[in-house]
Chain A
Amino acid sequence: MPLMPVILWTDALVFLLVISAIGFGLYAARHEHLRAPWRRVARSRVGIGTLVVLSFYVLIGLLDTVHFRLPLADQTAGTETSGGTRYGPDFLSLFDAWATPLRERQEKTYSAPFATHLFVKEAITQPDGSVIRDYPRLNYGGRHLKDPTQRGWDILRLTLRGLAEGLIVWGLIAAQVVWSTARRQGIGFMAARDVLLAGGTAFPWRTALGTLAVMLVLGFVAGELALRYHVLGTDKVGEDVFFQALKSIRTGLVIGTLTTLVMLPAAILLGIMAGYFRGWVDDIIQYLYTTLNAIPGVLLIAAAILMLQVYMSNNADQFESLVERADLRLLFLCLILGVTSWTGLCRLLRGEALKLREADYVRASSALGVGHFAILGRHILPNVLHIVMITLVLDFSGLVLAEAVLSYVNIGVDPTMNSWGNMINSARLELARDPMVWWSLTAAFVFMFALVLAANLFADVVRDAFDPRLRGVR
């Protein structure tokens, strides 16, 4: 029975983003002035290390973006309606399907990382009928252990297995790299290995492979352990925190990238128009962004989110599933964050266009009677692209963090959506518990921190590569 693919709004935009990224890559590859800085990025050790980390995040994010509905196991019921396969109501993603064991193994309430027992005491009816209050065994975490005291050894065993698997996979990839290097440079396999180990290649293979090794080992160890335990514990209703943290990756990435994507056309067009035409066009555009900037962003966002809720409650029939509603809210959040954040880029571009319009080649084209929009497209736009590039990368981590902040004013993503912001927000109550529930917060923090750090370092490299003079454009 075939699966039924579902494309949510944000999915579509993410696909659009991927396509335009590939398009831009092809375009850049054919233009030396764009290719050179990327080559610089690729040759930087920090750049390539962070890129490997980022690509893991992107991979999970993309897997989590391909949605579909599963056909129902029982196709017999309700045959009186028109034919065709029947599908379950749930929207699943490839990632959900892959991580099914994590998704479905829910406990009753909190349990600590690697715990075998619940975190809170409950009334347990003993075989003899008496009732005692104690910590009950978990339904899934560490269930395979007959004797919970053996947990340490079991964890060690699983870790070693994960380590071994990770290293094997890594070894295969590394051998492939060494082999191709050897072939390209025309030297022997062992010689190529020595070259790589010594860091003697233009592309920092040593860093790339090193980071890859760490990521692969971490991934496999976590995977082995996650099948038997709740690696990062469970939350208030017993959902696996590790799974939540992984699901949150998509939310973070979507907010970080789509926001910039949706604001980009407006910011670029208005920015360079203001700078190029000056006069009343400039006045209007400046008025527009000063006014928008003068209103506190929180209010704008709150208003937009509430407006969406009104819309959804008036048109409740169009949004049958929780996922669709949450998705639309996410999209709306991206849009409104875009509205509040385009002004910065717009102002930068306006300044740059002001300078460029005085440049000789622009004046020459203008004197030759080339149309204004042709000049904008042919001369101004290509020359401000690097600013756009830099802003895009720099904004990314800021937006990921902003999501976390918005959630605790309750104007972030849908409360039912997995996001680091929501995890942190509920953690504020958990922290005050005594004994403290620290794992949700820690998980969200670690995952977010790794992404933000990688993005930050990567942004620095990109900025340096594109234009050393432009450090500190923000």
Chain B
Amino acid sequence: MIAYILRRLLYAVPILIGVNLLTFALFFVLNSPDQMARMHLGEKRVTPEAITNWKQEHGYDKPLLFNESASGLARVTDTIFFERSVRLFAFDFGSSDDGRDIGYDISQRMWPSLAIAVPVLLVGLALNISLALFIVFFRATYLDIGAVVLLVAMLSISGLFYIIGGQYLLSKIFHLVPISGYDTGVEAWKFLVLPVIVGVIGGVGSGVRWYRTLFLEEVSKDYVRTARAKGLTERRVLFRHVLGNALIPILTGVVVVLPLLFMGSLITESFFGIPGLGSYTIDAINNQDFAIVRAMVFLGAVLYILGLILTDISYTLVDPRVRLQ
């Protein structure tokens, strides 16, 4: 098992290099260092000297990938790509293009993101599974079809309208929670109620639909028929057998997303003014702060790979027949 995990982690290295290379290429095709310098130096009265200066100071004056003027190994190492990427593997994110330490910022902004993502996941899971079981109980009736129509309607509404609607109703009309904002410590909870509710409701459409399919698949299997033939009540069949067996896909589905919870949600965070990692990334893209974008993509890739490994491990835990080699 440990050997397996080690090997998987080793596999991650070339993937991360690939990810890095791709991010790098994409970003610099879009933004030449000149443009980044202009962006950071502001709008008015920018002189060409100031741009050269800025690039030199931030190390963007070197060739991107391949240094023809150098010799030997330095041809590859004396480039922006090498200098910027290697340190990432030690999780040293360096400082952003406007001089802030990225590692520190990430460690600060991670918590608000988690404070929303975790409750949304847990409450959402409970609600979605309950509703899905209920619908499956009435499968192939008009209730079922009606529910599917409703679910499709819910998932056709874009998330933004749940946010605007939620703010409108709960904060503006009913004065129950603050519209937006955040605070550190326990005070934060009143700011979290609304984003969590909105997050849960926004996820019902796709979530319930997905669990419904899962359960329906289980229901049509032989053992369920056997159980029913044994004379078990429909309810017991559903809760004991169907839910039990569907736990494996549910669990693995959840495990995959667990690490990505760190990354936060882009729109929710900027609408509710929550200082999480999602808004951090969006701001970085808008400000063309390549250092932050690269760090966040790298982090995302690491977490994604971590999710894959966790899924494999969780398979062995729930299903003893699967063994990792």
Given contacts A294-B304, A295-B301, A401-B155, contact A303 B27 (CB under 8 A): yes
| A:315-350 near B, CB below 8 Å | none
Which residues from chain A contact B164 at a C-beta distance below 8 Å?
A: 428, 431-432
Interface size class of B (residues with CB under 8 A): 35 or more
- Cβ of B263 to closest chain A Cβ, rounded Å: 8
Q: Which residue of A lies closest to B303 (CB)?
A: A294
- Cβ of B21 to closest chain A Cβ, rounded Å: 9
Q: Which of A290, A401, A441, A457 has the most CB of B within 10 A?
A: A290
Which residues from chain B contact A294 at a C-beta distance below 8 Å?
A: 15-16, 19, 300-301, 304-305
Q: Are B29 and A303 in contact (CB under 8 A)?
A: yes
- Cβ of A312 to closest chain B Cβ, rounded Å: 14
Q: Does chain B have a CB within 8 A of A389?
A: no
- Cβ of B294 to closest chain A Cβ, rounded Å: 10
Bound CA–CA A330/B122 (angstroms): 38
Q: Which of A295, A428, A448, A453 has the most CB of B within 10 A?
A: A295
Q: Which residue of A lies closest to B218 (CB)?
A: A472
| B:17-34 near A, CB below 8 Å | 18-19, 22-23, 26-27, 29-30
A452-464 vs B: 1/0 string, CB under 8 Å?
1100110000000
Bound CA–CA A405/B308 (angstroms): 26
Bound CA–CA A404/B285 (angstroms): 21
Choose, from B65-73, B128-136, B173-181, B209-217, the stretch at the interface. Answer: B209-217
| A:281-315 near B, CB below 8 Å | 287, 290-291, 293-296, 298-300, 302-303, 306-307, 310
Q: Are A471 and B29 in contact (CB under 8 A)?
A: no
| B:148-167 near A, CB below 8 Å | 148-149, 152-153, 155-161, 164
Bound CA–CA A408/B268 (angstroms): 13
Which residues from chain B contact A299 at a C-beta distance below 8 Å?
A: 23, 26, 285, 293, 297
Bound CA–CA A328/B160 (angstroms): 28
Q: Does chain A have a CB within 8 A of B220?
A: yes
Which residues from chain B contact A405 at a C-beta distance below 8 Å?
A: 158-159
Q: Does chain B have a CB within 8 A of A48?
A: no
Q: Are A471 and B153 in contact (CB under 8 A)?
A: no
Q: Are A472 and B213 in contact (CB under 8 A)?
A: yes
Bound CA–CA A23/B297 (angstroms): 43
Q: Which of A291, A401, A449 contacts B22 (CB 8 A)?
A: A291
Q: Does chain A have a CB within 8 A of B14?
A: yes
Which residues from chain A contact B304 at a C-beta distance below 8 Å?
A: 293-294
Q: Are B158 and A296 in contact (CB under 8 A)?
A: no
Q: Which of A291, A401, A428, A456 contacts B19 (CB 8 A)?
A: A291
Bound CA–CA A287/B16 (angstroms): 10
Q: Does chain B have a CB within 8 A of A129?
A: no
Tally the A-B contacts, defined by beta carbons under 8 Å. Answer: 88
Which residues from chain B contact A431 at a C-beta distance below 8 Å?
A: 161, 164
Q: Are A468 and B30 in contact (CB under 8 A)?
A: no
| A:426-455 near B, CB below 8 Å | 428, 431-432, 441, 445, 448-449, 452-453
- Cβ of B1 to closest chain A Cβ, rounded Å: 21
Q: Are A428 and B29 in contact (CB under 8 A)?
A: no
- Cβ of A287 to closest chain B Cβ, rounded Å: 7
Which residues from chain A contact B293 at a C-beta distance below 8 Å?
A: 299
Q: Which of B149, B216, B297 contacts A295 (CB 8 A)?
A: B297
Which residues from chain B contact A449 at a C-beta distance below 8 Å?
A: 152-153, 156
Which residues from chain B contact A424 at a C-beta distance below 8 Å?
A: 158
Q: Which of A293, A295, A448, A471 contacts B23 (CB 8 A)?
A: A295
Which residues from chain A contact B26 at a C-beta distance below 8 Å?
A: 299-300, 303, 307
Which residues from chain A contact B217 at a C-beta distance below 8 Å?
A: 471-472
Q: Which of A290, A296, A306, A445 contacts B297 (CB 8 A)?
A: A296
Which residues from chain B contact A457 at a C-beta distance below 8 Å?
A: 148
Bound CA–CA A189/B161 (angstroms): 52
- Cβ of A307 to closest chain B Cβ, rounded Å: 6
Q: Are A452 and B156 in contact (CB under 8 A)?
A: yes
Q: Which residue of A lies closest to B149 (CB)?
A: A453
Which residues from chain A contact B19 at a C-beta distance below 8 Å?
A: 291, 294-295
Q: Are A472 and B161 in contact (CB under 8 A)?
A: no
Bound CA–CA A468/B213 (angstroms): 12
Q: Which residue of B lies closest to A463 (CB)?
A: B213
- Cβ of A271 to closest chain B Cβ, rounded Å: 18
Bound CA–CA A290/B22 (angstroms): 13
Additional A-B contacts beyond A303-B30, A449-B152 (4; CB < 8 A): A290-B308, A306-B30, A445-B156, A474-B210
Which positions in B face A, CB cutoff 8 Å? Answer: 14-16, 18-19, 22-23, 26-27, 29-30, 148-149, 152-153, 155-161, 164, 210, 213-214, 216-217, 220, 266-267, 285, 293, 297, 300-301, 304-305, 308
Q: Can you identify 30 A-B contacts, CB atoms within 8 angstroms?
A: A287-B15, A291-B19, A293-B304, A294-B304, A295-B19, A295-B23, A295-B301, A296-B297, A298-B266, A300-B26, A303-B26, A306-B30, A307-B26, A404-B158, A428-B160, A428-B164, A431-B161, A445-B156, A449-B152, A449-B153, A452-B152, A452-B155, A452-B156, A453-B153, A453-B156, A456-B152, A468-B220, A471-B213, A472-B213, A472-B217
Considering the complex of A and B, which 10 residue pairs feature the smallest CB-CB distances, nearest first? Answer: A294-B301, A303-B26, A291-B18, A472-B217, A472-B213, A449-B156, A294-B304, A306-B30, A453-B152, A471-B217
